[in-house]
Structure 1
Amino acid sequence: MTAAVTPVARRSPWTHNVICGIVATAFYRMGAGLYMMTVLPSFILLVGGNNFDVGFAEGLQGLANLLSAMPAGYIADKWSRRACIRMGTCLTFLSAGCLLLAVIIAKPKDFVPFVLLCLALALQGICDGIINGPLAALMDDSCPAGRRSDVESMNASVGGVAASVGPLLGLIVFATTGNTWTTFSMKVVICVGIFLSLLAIIPCLLMHDKYALAESSEAVHLQKNLLESQRWRSEQSTCFGLVTVQRVCIVMFINQLILTIGAGMTVKFFPVFFKEETHLKPVLLQAVFGSLNLFAGLGNLLANRLSKKFGRLQVIICGYIAGITCTMLMGTVRSYYTVPAVMLPIFLTRCICMWSCTPLLGSIIADYTPKATRGRWKALSSVAVVGWSGSAAVGGWLIDHTGFGVTFIITACFQTCSIPIMCILLPLVAKESELLAAQSAESLTATEISMQAETS
């Protein structure tokens, strides 16, 4: 008599490193959400004097990220991801100290605190380059293929909820200090945010390479138990044979670079736009960004659920088409800039559609990146943030010379180039349901072989 065969339970993605990484994200996003997107651009504008200074300061952060990310990724692959994370946490203290000092001594159009702000952002760029690549790579090393969108979506959702708490705290501060953009109220908000974000160091220090998984976290096209089920995809190629499964991570990086360069020209200036053009009060602006992060967190979960049925790339393409369309609308409805009831829904829809797709993009990159080079590829993804911060200088120049409307239109046109690139990958990228089915089949076969050996 043969015993019934029970499939082996799926490996849980909620490992030690994954949980620590999510907790670190929550603390950092809560602190940064308090001031980074809402108060800091206006504060730099106050201290520096013009939009170019805002873009220049943000651009330094991107340049520092560029110079540090690749060496950090290489060291993480060859030496230790944990060591790179710890070096980054040490520099985080130095960055926080410079920013805190700049805020304390800041006055309108004051050169010294502006230099300190630039130094703090440059150090933060180095920290991002050292931590984000190795930390994200260690989380991917600790999560099995087929479950990465769950982890990426949960990480983004937790970060979104935490980031929504920050602006709500800022709302309270502004409400108690007169609901105006005073230097004092902005200083209080930034200082509180600095101390909250430093709490992220604790879970970062608890992460370790020894908790990483083995073959189950390897790239999809390198896992032996998945090769047979994905063989037909491995034999596919697109773009006249130039794009193959092995080159998915390269194409995804190019796509990510286009998206972030475009976003950098405008995203950093959204708070300034609503302050200068729409004339939103600080309390309302804090409420908008608080709700934005919360809705984006919920959008991450919805996008992940839809991707299980329709596929990750399919959901990403639809989300980006909707988001880019809203960016174009923000540039063409200039007669409604002073009507919050029109501009805010367009802005919220734009951000929610595009931000909700980011975890799915990250999960695809992780699924098609070999573990041996994952630190470097994650560092390259971090370098793509240079487009986010580096192109801010271009965005600041454009806004000063052409206005917000033209800059929004240029951003939308530039980001549209990413849509055909993602369409090229449709035949090559597997649905996660296919990966999980292949793993279940392999586990079932292994169980049957073991039980047959026992009965014989």
Structure 2
Amino acid sequence: MSPPLVALCTAGAEPSERSSQQSLAVAALPPVVKRLLLLQCVLSAANSWAFGALFDIDLYLLFGHLNTFVGACESVRGIAGLIAAVPLGYMADKYGRSFALRLSASFAPLIAVAAAIALLAKLPWLILLSVAAWSVCQQGMLGAMTAWLADLVPPGEARSRVMGWQVVAQQIGMCGGPLVQLLVIWLCGQEKDTWNPGFLAALLLSGLLLVALVTPLAWSSAIANADHLMRLRAEGPLQGSNSSLSGSQAAEPQEVEAEDVVPEWARASLRSGCKVNWVVVILLEASFTLTLLFAGMSAKYFSLFFKQDFGFDAEMICMLNAAFPLVVAGLVPLCGTFARRFGEVPGILLWTFLGGAMHVFLARASSASSAVAFFLLRQAFMKSRDPLYQTLIMDCLEKRFRGRFGSITSMRSVTWAGSSFIGGIVADRNHSDYRLVFDISGVLIATISTAVVLPLLYLVPRRR
């Protein structure tokens, strides 16, 4: 299907026809959606290759075996994201998703050069600066891409599926980074000496090349043309008799605007006068933020846990980090099927509880095989529920708020970063024993994070 806007594919159709056409449009994946998903995949691959698990271990080895420094890097990443969130969100709403996306991507080559110098010269301050800059670059691109995909797709099941594909693309990219690292290890014959600091640095430097390649992909003609077409169609009805669009084309944006509104159930008001849609958004964000706060204590230390407790080398760490995105990608459709049958909120509740439980089981794993199994399940449950959050939030927000909403969601990265630092302190005080950290994370997620979502069982219809 050639039109780049999925929503425009259904304009002018009868209600009975529109549902089937929407399904066809989603299945066909218009060019701009394909390009955005590809960009999401490359961005995730660059992050997992250059700033992923081996990056954390390299920092741990370079700077005195301190978990605290690893946590400090994550704290800097989160604070930088918080500072940049409001201007980036405002820019995406005022000047367009494409402009915000390409401007953010333009700094990727400079960040890659700075990070390379920092690793080679072992400069902690430049490492922190590079991590902060990469956080801003990532947030600008991810925020613009998510809002743009939500703009392109009609509310409901179609948007839910595309948000699911975005997570799948992200997980495929996260798998690609460790796989390439593993290939480099094999080609260099470094299976027995993978913790050599020089080799680790070379492995990370090669990943920075992919970071630099993010820029030309974001500036591709497909994205620019789609952005131009979106503006042209949006301006069509305002041009009156001088419009260059035909009558049927001029009617298309009106049809899109009519469909891209907050659902009727979400426009209702509670007895307190609060709008249901904002209550839903706030509770979902609170639950997501709390989950990241609790999970962030342990998330940065999984690779170090397998290295310390089970003697994993870099080859095995790469295999582990390449495997879990595939498990996540496989569980996303299952989570979506569950949500379509029982509702998004029950899906969020169940997946969040199971994710917390896996932390506790991982803390009690006595063998490498059981630890790997619990780790993979933990990652799958915690990440495959993300499309449910995104779909509900985007459906409850008007289009004009989607970009600026990044100023609220940026709090997620700050809570994650702060708790990573706390997790590092706890681990250092317990002689790098990460099991206590996993226990704390799991119990808090399974209880508090799920409790916050419970009121939504009464506010959000199961079948929307």
- TM-score relative to the length of structure 2: 0.82
Aligned match for 1:63, one of 79, 93, 96: 79
Decide whether aligned partners of structure 1 residues 219 and 370 sit closer, same or farther in structure 2, where only a CA change above 3 A counts: farther
The reply on whether 1:370 has 2:398 as its aligned counterpart is: yes
Kindly report which structure 2 residues correspond to 1:51-450, keeping only aligned pairs within 5 A, or say none. 51-106=67-122, 113-146=123-156, 147-175=158-186, 176-179=189-192, 180-206=194-220, 207=223, 209-212=227-230, 222-223=261-262, 227=264, 230=265, 234-235=267-268, 237=270, 244-331=276-363, 333=364, 336=366, 339-402=367-430, 403-415=433-445, 416-430=447-461, 434=464
Tell me how far apart the structure 2 counterparts of residues 377 and 6 of structure 1 sit (CA, whole Å): 33
Contact 2:297/2:424 (8 A) holds in 1? yes
Alpha-carbon distance, 1:234 to partner: 4.5
Map of 2:247 onto structure 1: none
Contact 2:78/2:417 (8 A) holds in 1? yes
Alpha-carbon distance, 1:215 to partner: 6.7
Tell me how far apart the structure 1 counterparts of residues 205 and 114 of structure 2 sit (CA, whole Å): 12
Contact 2:37/2:166 (8 A) holds in 1? yes
Tell me how far apart the structure 2 counterparts of residues 20 and 32 of structure 1 sit (CA, whole Å): 18
Contact 1:28/1:199 (8 A) holds in 2? no
Alpha-carbon distance, 1:90 to partner: 2.0
Contact 1:330/1:408 (8 A) holds in 2? yes
Alpha-carbon distance, 1:150 to partner: 0.7
Q: Secondary structure at the match of 2:42?
A: helix
Tell me how far apart the structure 2 counterparts of residues 252 and 6 of structure 1 sit (CA, whole Å): 32
Q: Unaligned regions of 5+ residues in structure 1, if any?
A: 107-112, 435-456
Q: Secondary structure at the match of 2:310?
A: coil
1:38 is aligned with what amino acid? Answer: A
Decide whether aligned partners of structure 1 residues 270 and 424 sit closer, same or farther in structure 2, where only a CA change above 3 A counts: same
Tell me how far apart the structure 1 counterparts of residues 362 and 411 of structure 2 sit (CA, whole Å): 28
Tell me how far apart the structure 2 counterparts of residues 429 and 62 of structure 1 sit (CA, whole Å): 31
Alpha-carbon distance, 1:316 to partner: 1.8
2:35 is aligned with what amino acid? Answer: C
The reply on whether 1:45 has 2:76 as its aligned counterpart is: no
1:178 is aligned with what amino acid? Answer: E
The reply on whether 1:10 has 2:21 as its aligned counterpart is: yes
Tell me how far apart the structure 2 counterparts of residues 53 and 6 of structure 1 sit (CA, whole Å): 58
Q: How many residues align?
A: 413
Alpha-carbon distance, 1:378 to partner: 3.2
The reply on whether 1:32 has 2:64 as its aligned counterpart is: no
Alpha-carbon distance, 1:140 to partner: 1.1
Tell me how far apart the structure 2 counterparts of residues 364 and 123 of structure 1 sit (CA, whole Å): 30
Tell me how far apart the structure 2 counterparts of residues 376 and 190 of structure 1 sit (CA, whole Å): 34
Contact 1:221/1:246 (8 A) holds in 2? no
Tell me how far apart the structure 2 counterparts of residues 300 and 31 of structure 1 sit (CA, whole Å): 22
Tell me how far apart the structure 2 counterparts of residues 257 and 330 of structure 1 sit (CA, whole Å): 22
Contact 2:288/2:412 (8 A) holds in 1? yes
Q: Secondary structure at the match of 2:347?
A: helix
